[in-house]
Chains A and B, each alone.
Chain A
Amino acid sequence: MTAKPKMSAKNVGVSYNGKVALSEVSIDFLEHDVISLIGPSGCGKSTFLRCLNRMNDTIDGCVVSGEIQLDNYNIYSSEIDPVEVRARVGMVFQKPNPFPKSIYDNICYGPRIHGMANSRDELDEIVEWSLTSAGLWEEVKDRLNEPGTGLSGGQQQRLCIARSIAIHPEVILMDEPCSALDPIATAKIEELLGQLRSKFTIIIVTHSMQQAARISNRTAFFHLGELIEEGKTDDIFTVPKDERTQSYITGRIG
Chain B
Amino acid sequence: MINPMPKSIDRGPNLSAERFVKRYRSEKYFKYLGLFAIGIALSMLIVLTSSIIFKGHSAFWQTHIAIDVQITSEDVASISNANFRGITRTSIRSEFPEVKSRRDKKQLYKLFSNGISFEIKEYFFKNKIQSGGIYRVWVKASADIDMLRKGFINRDLEETNRRISDKQLKWYDQLDQEGRIEKKFNVTFFTAADSREPEQAGILGALVGSILTLFITLILSFPIGVGAAIYLEEFAKKNYWSDLIEVNINNLAAVPSIVFGLLGLAVLLNWFGMPRSAPIAGGAVLALMTLPTIIISSRSALKAVPPSIREAALGMGASRLQTMLHHVVPLAMPGMLTGAIIGMAQALGETAPLLMMGMVAFIVDVPGNLTDAATVLPVQIFLWADAPERAFVERTSAAIMVLLLFLVTMNLVAILLRKHFERRW
Are A and B subunits of one complex?
A: yes
The docked-state distance in angstroms from the alpha carbon of A159 to that of B315 is 14
Chain B's closest residue to A87 (CB) is B317
Q: Does A95 contact B (CB under 8 A)?
A: yes
Looking at the complex, which one of A86, A87, A101, A113 makes contact with B425 (CB distance below 8 Å)?
A101
Report whether A98 and B316 are in contact in the complex, using a CB–CB cutoff of 8 Å.
no
Contact of A83 among B309, B311, B312, B318 (CB under 8 A): B318
Q: Mark A125-148, 1 if CB is under 8 A from B, else 0.
A: 000000000000000000000000
Find B322's partner among A97, A113, A160, A167 (CB 8 Å cutoff): A113
Q: Is the CB of B311 within 8 A of A55?
A: yes
Residue in A60, A83, A93 whose CB lies within 8 Å of B317: A83
Whether, in the assembled complex, A109 has its beta carbon less than 8 Å from a beta carbon of chain B, the answer is yes
How far apart are B308's CB and chain A's nearest CB, in angstroms?
4
Shortest beta-carbon distance from A2 to chain B in Å: 31
**Which listed residue, B237, B306, B313, B316, touches A90 by the CB 8 Å rule?**
B316
Task: Report which residue of A58, A95, A98 has the largest number of chain B beta carbons within 10 angstroms of its beta carbon.
Answer: A58
- How many angstroms between the C-alpha atoms of A74 and B306 in the bound complex? 31
Minimum distance in angstroms from A250 CB to a CB of chain B: 23
- Chain B residues near A97 (CB-CB < 8 A): 306, 308-309, 311-312
Q: Does B314 contact A (CB under 8 A)?
A: yes
- Which residues does chain B contribute within 8 Å of A10, judged by CB atoms? none
Q: Is the CB of B425 within 8 A of A100?
A: yes
A46 beta carbon closer than 8 Å to chain B: no
Q: Which residues of A contact B425 (CB under 8 A)?
A: 100-101
Decide yes or no: A99 and B313 within 8 Å by CB, A83-B319, A109-B326 being known contacts: yes
By a CB distance below 8 angstroms, the chain B residues around A164 are 315-316
Does B238 sit at the interface, judged by CB under 8 A?
yes
Is A53 positioned at the interface, with any CB of B under 8 Å from its CB? yes
Interfacial chain A residues near B316, Cβ < 8 Å = 86-87, 90, 109-110, 113, 163-164, 167
Contact B309 A55 (CB under 8 A): no
Cα–Cα, bound, A77→B311 (Å): 22
Please determine whether B309 and A86 come into contact, CB atoms closer than 8 angstroms: no
Cβ contacts B310-334/A at 8 Å (1 or 0 each)? 1111111111001000110001000
Q: Does A91 contact B (CB under 8 A)?
A: yes
Taking the closest CB of chain B, its distance from the CB of A166, in whole angstroms, is: 9
> Measured between C-beta atoms, what is the minimum distance from B110 to chain A in Å?
69
Q: Which of B309, B311, B317 has the most CB of A within 10 A?
A: B317
Q: Size class of A's contact patch?
A: 20 to 34
When distances are taken between beta carbons in the complex, the residues of chain A under 8 Å from B318 are 83, 109, 113
Count B interface residues, CB 8 Å: 20
Shortest CB distance A103–B (Å): 14
**Are A90 and B315 touching (Cβ within 8 A)?**
yes
| Interface flag for A235 (CB, 8 Å) | no
In the complex, the chain A residue whose C-beta lies closest to that of B239 is: A60
Q: How distant is B246 from chain A, measured CB to nearest CB, in Å? A: 15
Q: How many Å lie between the Cα of A91 and that of B310 in the bound state?
A: 13
Please indicate the chain A residues that have their CB under 8 angstroms from the CB of B238 in the complex.
60
Indicate if the CB atoms of A58 and B314 lie closer than 8 Å. yes
Query: Contacts A93-B308, A95-B308, A160-B312; is A110 near B317 (CB within 8 Å)?
Result: yes
Q: What is the CB-to-nearest-CB distance from A204 to chain B, in angstroms, rounded to a whole number?
A: 15
- Chain B residues with Cβ under 8 A from A60's Cβ? 237-238
Most buried by B among A86, A98, A114: A86
> A109-B326, A113-B322 in contact; A53/B315 too (CB < 8 A)?
yes
Q: Which residues of B contact A58 (CB under 8 A)?
A: 310-311, 314
Question: Which residues does chain B contribute within 8 Å of A234, judged by CB atoms?
Answer: none
CB distance from A148 to the nearest CB of B (A): 11
Contact of B322 with A86 in the complex, beta carbons under 8 Å: no
Q: How far is the CA of A88 from the CA of B317 in the complex (A)?
A: 8
Is A242 on the interface with B (CB-CB < 8 A)?
no
- A181-204 near B? 1/0 per residue, CB < 8 Å: 000000000000000000000000
Across-interface contacts of A83 in B (CB, < 8 A) = 317-319
- A127 → B minimal CB distance (Å): 15
Closest to B319 in A: A83
Answer yes or no: A84 CB below 8 A from chain B CBs: yes
Instruction: Determine the chain A residues whose CB is within 8 A of the CB of B313 once the complex forms.
Output: 99, 109
Measured between beta carbons, the chain A residues less than 8 angstroms from B315 are: 53, 55, 86, 90-91, 93, 164
Q: In the bound complex, how far is the Cα of B306 from the Cα of A231, in angstroms?
A: 37
Between A88, A93, A109, A114, the greatest number of chain B beta carbons within 10 A of the residue's beta carbon is seen for A109
A99 partner residues in chain B, CB cutoff 8 A: 309, 312-313, 327
The B-contacting residues of A in range 97-122, CB under 8 angstroms, are 97-101, 109-110, 113-114
A110 to B315, CA, bound (A): 10
Contacts of A95 in B (CB 8 A): 308
Least CB distance from B266 to A in Å reads: 39
Residues from chain B with a CB closer than 8 A to the CB of A109 are 313, 316, 318, 326
**Separation of A114 and B217 alpha carbons in the complex (Å):** 38
A72 to B134, CA, bound (A): 103
Separation in Å of the B314 CB from the closest CB of chain A?
6
Q: How far is the CA of A90 from the CA of B322 in the complex (A)?
A: 17
Closest to B312 in A: A97
CB distance from B231 to the nearest CB of A (A): 15
Chain B nearest CB from A187 CB (Å) reads: 24
The interface of chain A, by Cβ under 8 A from chain B, is 53, 55, 58, 60, 83-84, 86-88, 90-91, 93, 95, 97-101, 109-110, 113-114, 160, 163-164, 167
24 contacts between A and B (CB under 8 A): A53-B315, A55-B315, A58-B314, A60-B237, A60-B238, A83-B318, A86-B315, A86-B317, A87-B317, A90-B316, A91-B315, A93-B308, A95-B308, A99-B327, A101-B425, A109-B318, A109-B326, A110-B316, A113-B316, A160-B312, A163-B312, A164-B315, A167-B316, A167-B317
Closest 8 interchain pairs by CB? A87-B317, A97-B308, A91-B315, A86-B317, A97-B312, A110-B316, A100-B425, A83-B319
Given contacts A86-B314, A109-B316, 7 further A-B contacts (CB under 8 A): A58-B311, A60-B238, A93-B311, A95-B308, A100-B309, A113-B317, A113-B322
